[in-house]
C-alpha cells in the first residue's frame, strides 16, 4: 500500500482550466471518492496512564526507511507530537493529521503541557489544562494523549513511551533558555517535519477578540451575561447599552432607507411601464386620428359622399326627351279694350286672325 505522505496530502493545486472538481487535475493527488460511511471513532482517545504497555518486549526504534516501507500491524510506528493546543482550532487538527499520515502504519501520541508549565514558559491560556486535554482527546487523528507533557523531551521520556519519531514544524522553537527545544531530536534523526497552517493560530484568535473587545462584550451582555462576569465596569455597561440602542436606531433607519429605495425602485419600474403603455396608447390614438381625419381619412370620404347625395337631392329632374310638348304661338293677338270685336283686318290677314281667335279661345279655356 502506498503511504499517504503529508506532501501528497498538501499537493492539491487548483487550476482554473482543470477538468477535475474545483479546477483540479488528476495529477493533483485528490483521493478518489469513497462510499458514504462513518470514519470517525466512537470514543475519545485514551490517556497514556490508562493504556497498558507490554514492557517485556524490548524497545527497538525503527529507522525512517523501515517506517516508510511499512511495519507489521502489531508494530506501528509510534509518532509523538506535543503542544499547548489552547483554543483548539483547524491549524492544530491539520498538524495532527500530517503527523498521523507520516507513515503507512502510525500510532499517534499527543502530549499536552500543563497549565503550570505553559504559564511559566509561554504565557496565560484561555482554556485550562483539563479543557485542552479533552479537546485533543476528541480529535480523530489522535490515538493516545499524554497529560502534563514535558516542555523538553528527555531520553527517559522517549524510552518510557517507546517513541520512534517526533513530529513538529521545522521552524526553530526557542524556549526555556534554548534556541531550539527540538535540536537534540533533530540530531538524533528522530525528527519528522510537518507544515504549519498559515492564517490561523491561537494568538491570531486572541488578537481578534482583543481588537473587537467592545463588540464581544456587548454580544455577551445581550446573551445574558452580567457585567460582573465580564469584568465590565458600571460606566462601560451603560455605555454598551447606549451603543446597543444607537445601533438599533441605526439599523431601523437603514431598514427604512432600504425599504424606501425598494419603493422608489418599484415606482420607477411602474412609471417606466406606464410611460411605455402611454406611448403605445398615444401611438394607437394618433394612428386612429389620422385614419379618421387625415388627408385620405374616412371623414373626407364621408363628406364627399354626403355632398354628392345633397347635390343630387337639390338638383331638378330633367324631363325625358320623348315627352310631348305644347306648341304655343309666338304671341297672343292684340285685343281692343272692352271690345269683343277685333279690329278690321285686311282680307289677306283674315284667315290668320281667325286662327288667332281660335287659339285665344283655347288658351282662355285652359286658364
Three-class SS state of 108: strand
Q: What is the mean pLDDT of the chain?
A: 79
Residue for grid cell 538524533: 188
Order the strands of the 165-169 sheet from edge to edge. 144-147, 106-112, 77-83, 165-169, 191-194
Terminal Cα-to-Cα distance of the chain (whole angstroms): 149
| CATH entry, 46-198, from 3.40.50.620, 3.30.565.10, 3.40.50.1820, 3.40.50.700 | 3.40.50.620
Question: Tell me: the pLDDT tens digits for 51-70?
Answer: 888 888 888 899 999 999 99
Other CB atoms closer than 10 Å to residue 317's CB: what's the count?
A: 5
**Tally of residues, the chain:** 367
Question: Tell me: the pLDDT tens digits for 311-352?
Answer: 777 876 655 555 555 555 555 554 555 555 555 555 555 555
Residue for grid cell 343630387: 312
> What is the C-alpha R_g of the chain?
60
**The predicted structure's pLDDT at residue 190:** 95
The residue among 159, 133, 158 whose CA lies nearest residue 146 is 133
The three three-digit cell numbers of residue 55, written as one number = 514492557
Contact 87, 127 (CB under 8 A): yes
CA 313/CA 104 separation, integer angstroms: 120
CA 102/CA 219 separation, integer angstroms: 42
Other CB atoms closer than 10 Å to residue 59's CB: what's the count?
A: 14
Average pLDDT per 10 consecutive residues for the chain, totaling 367 residues: 42 41 47 51 89 84 93 93 96 96 96 95 94 96 96 93 95 81 92 93 93 89 89 86 85 87 84 85 81 73 76 68 52 51 53 49 43
CA 10/CA 98 separation, integer angstroms: 9
The residue among 127, 52, 44, 28 whose CA lies nearest residue 83 is 127
Amino acid at each position: 500500500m502506498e503511504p499517504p505522505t503529508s506532501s501528497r496530502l498538501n499537493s492539491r493545486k487548483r487550476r482554473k482550466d482543470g477538468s477535475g472538481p474545483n479546477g483540479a487535475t488528476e495529477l493533483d493527488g485528490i483521493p478518489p471518492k469513497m462510499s458514504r460511511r462513518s470514519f470517525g471513532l466512537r470514543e475519545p482517545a485514551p490517556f497514556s496512564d490508562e493504556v497498558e504497555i507490554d514492557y517485556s518486549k524490548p524497545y527497538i526504534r525503527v529507522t525512517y526507511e523501515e517506517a516508510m516501507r511499512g511495519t507489521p500491524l502489531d508494530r506501528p510506528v509510534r509518532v509523538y507530537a506535543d503542544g499547548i493546543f489552547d483554543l483548539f482550532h483547524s491549524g492544530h487538527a491539520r498538524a495532527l493529521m500530517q503527523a498521523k499520515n507520516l507513515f503507512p502504519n502510525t500510532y499517534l501520541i499527543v502530549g499536552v503541557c500543563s497549565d503550570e508549565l505553559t504559564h511559566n514558559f509561554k504565557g496565560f491560556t484561555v482554556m485550562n489544562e483539563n479543557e485542552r486535554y479533552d479537546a485533543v482527546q476528541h480529535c480523530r487523528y489522535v490515538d493516545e494523549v499524554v497529560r502534563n507533557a514535558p516542555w523538553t523531551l528527555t531520553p527517559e521520556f522517549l524510552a518510557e513511551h517507546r517513541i520512534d519519531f517526533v513530529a513538529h514544524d521545522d521552524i526553530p522553537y526557542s524556549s526555556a533558555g534554548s534556541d531550539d527545544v527540538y535540536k537534540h531530536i533533530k540530531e538524533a534523526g528522530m525528527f519528522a517535519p510537518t507544515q504549519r497552517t498559515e492564517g490561523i493560530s491561537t494568538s491570531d484568535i486572541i488578537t481578534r477578540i482583543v481588537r473587537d473587545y467592545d463588540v464581544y462584550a456587548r454580544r455577551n451582555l445581550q446573551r445574558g451575561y452580567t457585567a460582573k462576569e465580564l469584568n465590565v465596569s458600571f460606566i462601560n455597561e451603560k455605555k454598551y447599552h447606549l451603543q446597543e440602542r444607537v445601533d438599533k436606531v441605526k439599523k431601523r433607519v437603514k431598514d427604512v432607507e432600504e425599504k424606501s429605495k425598494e419603493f422608489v425602485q418599484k415606482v420607477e419600474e411602474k412609471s417606466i411601464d406606464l410611460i411605455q403603455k402611454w406611448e403605445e396608447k398615444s401611438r394607437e390614438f394618433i394612428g386612429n386620428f389620422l385614419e379618421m381625419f387625415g388627408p385620405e381619412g374616412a371623414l373626407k370620404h364621408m363628406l364627399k359622399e354626403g355632398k354628392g347625395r345633397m347635390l343630387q337631392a337639390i338638383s331638378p329632374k330633367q324631363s325625358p326627351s320623348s315627352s310631348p310638348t305644347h306648341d304655343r304661338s309666338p304671341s297672343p293677338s292684340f285685343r281692343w279694350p272692352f271690345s269683343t270685336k277685333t279690329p278690321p283686318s285686311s282680307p289677306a290677314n283674315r284667315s290668320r286672325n281667325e286662327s288667332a281667335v281660335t287659339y285665344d279661345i283655347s288658351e282662355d279655356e285652359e286658364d
